[in-house]
Amino acid sequence: MSSYEHIHADFRHVMGLSAQERIEFLDQPRWIGHQVAQNILDTLQGLIHKPMRPRMPNLLIVGDSNNGKTTIIERFRHLCGTPYVNDDSEPVKPVIIAEAPPSADEKGLYISILEQFFSPYRATDPTSKLRYQAIHLFRACHVRMLVIDEFHSLLTGSAIKQREVMNAIKLMCNELAIPIVGVGTREAVRVLHTDPQHASRFDVMTLPLWELNVDFQRLLAGFEKILPLKSRSNLHVPESAKLLHTISEGNTGNLHRLLIECAVEAIKSGKEQIDKTIIENKAWLRPTRGIRELVG
C-alpha cells in the first residue's frame, strides 16, 4: 500500500476509508495556515496579552467577502478563547465574538453580545439596562477581548445611529480596559471616519486577495496535503496554479470551494488526482456579481 507521502501525516489514516467517507471528510473544517493569516493571529495574541490600561489599542481587520477573515477569528478563538473555570471557581471567557447588528443600533449590539454569554435578558429592557448587564458579564467572566464581526453593517443606518453605536464601543473599551477588534469588508474603514477619535483608536490590518506568486503556490501545496486523494495532484505547479487563480480570482473562500469540488470529482471519477480537465470542468464556480445557478 502507498504511504501517501503527499498527504499530511495527521490525515493519512483517512485513506483507509471508503470513497463516500473520504468525500464527507472533505466537508469538515480544516485550518491551513499562511503568512498573512499568521501575522493577524500574532497581532491578536499580542493584543489579548497586553496589560490593561485606560486607552487600550483596538484593531480593524478588513478584506473582501469570503476571503477567510472569520476563519482566522475562529482559529484565534480556538487558540486563545476557550472558556474555562479558574482557581477561584469563576467562569472565564477570554474572548467574546459577537456579530454586529444588521444596522447601526446600540441596543442591537448589546443583545448580540449578551447572546454570547447565554445569559437571560429582555430585549424590551432599556438600552442602559442592557449595557449594564453586558458590562457586568464582561467583568464577571474576565473577558480580555471583544471581537465584533460584520463590522461594516454599522454603516447601515442614520449618521446619528452610527455615532451612537460607535460611542457605545468606545465606552465599553474605556470602561472595561480591553481591546476591541472589528472584522469586516473594506467598507468597514468608513465606520471609523464618523469621528476622528474612533479612527485614532483603531489600527487597520488588511487581508488581501492572493496574487499569482510563490505564496499562492505554497497555499496550494498546503491545500493538497489535506485532500484525501490517492495520487499526487501537484496543484502548485505553474500551469495548475494559474488556472486555479484565474477561476478563484485569488479569493481564499472561492479557492477552498473550488478545490473541494475538484477533489470530490477526482474521487467519484476514480482519477484520484486533480488534473487540468477536472479544474476546467469546475470553471462554472467562477465568482459572478449575480446569482450563480448550480448545474445538475
- Alpha-carbon gap, residue 152 to 172, rounded angstroms: 19
Q: 162-179 pLDDT, tens per residue?
A: 999 999 999 999 999 999
Indicate which CATH number applies to the domain containing 121. Answer: 3.40.50.300
> Do residues 100 and 109 lie in contact, with contact meaning Cβ atoms separated by under 8 Å?
yes
Which of 162, 179, 207 delimits the end of a domain? 207
The residue-averaged pLDDT of 141-166 equals: 93
Residue 1 lies in a domain: no
pLDDT value of position 286: 65
Interval 86-107: pLDDT, tens:
999 999 999 999 999 999 999 9
Contact indicator for 133, 141 with CB cutoff of 8 Å: no
In a domain, 291, yes or no: no
Same domain, 138 and 59: yes
Cell, residue 239: 500551469
Q: In this prediction, what percent of the chain has a pLDDT beyond 90?
A: 81
For the chain, percent of residues with pLDDT exceeding 70: 95
Which of the listed residues 155, 179, 207 is the one where a domain comes to its end? 207
Co-location of 42 and 171 in the same domain: yes
**pLDDT (0 to 100) of residue 53:** 84
Which three cell numbers, joined as nine digits, stand for 68?
477567510
Do 156 and 230 share a structural domain? no
For residue 229 the three cell numbers come to: 486523494
Q: Work out the average pLDDT over 248-265.
A: 95
Q: Which of 166, 181, 207 is the last residue of a domain?
A: 207
DSSP character at residue 62 = E
Contacts of 273 (CB under 8 A, 6+ apart): 229, 230, 231, 232, 233, 266
Total tally of structural domains belonging to the chain = 2
Is 295 a domain residue?
A: no
Residues 167 and 279 reside in one and the same domain: no
Q: Are residues 43 and 188 in the same domain?
A: yes
Q: Are residues 18 and 89 in the same domain?
A: no
Indicate whether 288 pLDDT > 60. Answer: no
Check whether residue 107 and residue 183 sit in a common domain. Answer: yes
Helical packing angle, 252-269 and 214-224, nearest 10°: 40
Reduced to 3 states (helix: H, G, I; strand: E, B; else coil), residue 178 is coil
Range of the domain at 185: 36-207
What is the mean pLDDT of the segment spanning 149-157?
92
Residue 150 resides in a domain:
yes
Range with top average pLDDT, 150-159, 259-268, 281-290: 259-268
Residue 287: per-residue pLDDT: 59
Assess if residue 238 is contained within a domain: yes
Cα distances (Å, whole numbers) of residue 196 to 46, 166, 219, 290: 25, 11, 38, 36
Same domain, 16 and 151: no
pLDDT of residue 295: 44
Residues 188 and 267 in one domain: no
Please, which residues have CB within 8 angstroms of residue 292's CB and are 6 or more apart in sequence?
Answer: 284, 285
The Cα–Cα gap between 292 and 290 comes to 6
Task: Identify the bridge partners of residue 203 per DSSP, sorted by sequence position.
Answer: 59
Do both 195 and 71 map to the same domain? yes
Do residues 49 and 147 both lie within one domain? yes
Verify that 235 and 196 share a domain, yes or no. Answer: no
